[in-house]
Structures are given as C-alpha cells and as structure tokens.
Amino acid sequence: MIFLDNAATSYPKPESVYTFMDSFYRRAGVNPGRSGYDLCMEAGELLDGTRKLLARFFNGTDPNRLCFTSNSTDALNLAIFGLLKEGDHAISTTIEHNSVLRPLYHL
C-alpha cells in the first residue's frame, strides 16, 4: 500500500497546479458521474484519465481499484477499517496521528 498526503502540507504549489485548477474550475468544475450533461461527462473523463495514469504509475492492474478520498483521515479510516477487524493485532507507536490511533483503539 502506498499513501501520499503531499497536498495537505506543501506550500506553495507549483504554478502549473494553480493554472490547471483555475482552468478546470472555470471550464468543468462540476461533480463527475452525477449526470449526463457535457461538463459532467468531461469531468468524468478527466477523473477516469487520472485514475488510469495513477494506476500505471503505481504499477496497478485495474484503474477502477484506485480510490480517491476527500482527505487523509478519510483514507486512513477506509484502509484501517477495510483491512482490520475487531481483535486483529496492529502495531503502531505512541506518536502516531489521531487519524490512525482512534480507529485502532476502536477496533
């Protein structure tokens, strides 16, 4: 498993990120997969293309298994609760972030 959370901590972003995001939100900043109108379809194609690029980057075999989450806490909860069940043994440290410790304590 590979976990990246660079966007939350890196500032400033490269100019190319600002340029792309500004263009995207002005051109097609809608929810992909919510409907069949042109902008929604364009946003969905961008999402699918990104999923395929990332799957290739991480040597994945199925881009549909790549999961986007809204933040690192959400991703960690999804991973921890998806992999462990009550009574399993997990090793962590006392300096681990709350987004890891709380689900572990719950389990």
Average pLDDT of 35-45?
Answer: 88
What is residue 99's predicted lDDT score, i.e. its pLDDT? 87
Check residue 78 and give left, alpha or beta (phi > 0: left; psi -120 to 50: alpha): alpha
Residue 63 pLDDT > 90: yes
The secondary element (H helix, E strand) that includes residue 102 is: helix 98-106
Average pLDDT of 12-40?
Answer: 86
Distance CA 55, CA 66 (A): 7
| Residue at 44: amino acid letter | G
Domain ranges of the chain: 15-65, 72-106
Q: Token pair of 98, please?
A: 């709350």
Distance CA 78, CA 80 (A): 6
Question: 76 exposed, middle or buried (CB, 10 Å; 0-12, 13-18, 19+)?
Answer: buried
Residue 73: pLDDT band by 50, 70, 90 thresholds?
confident
Residue 2 pLDDT > 90: no
What is residue 39's predicted lDDT score, i.e. its pLDDT? 87
CA dihedral 3, 9, 15, 21 (to 10 degrees): 70
Better-scored residue on pLDDT, 1 or 15: 15
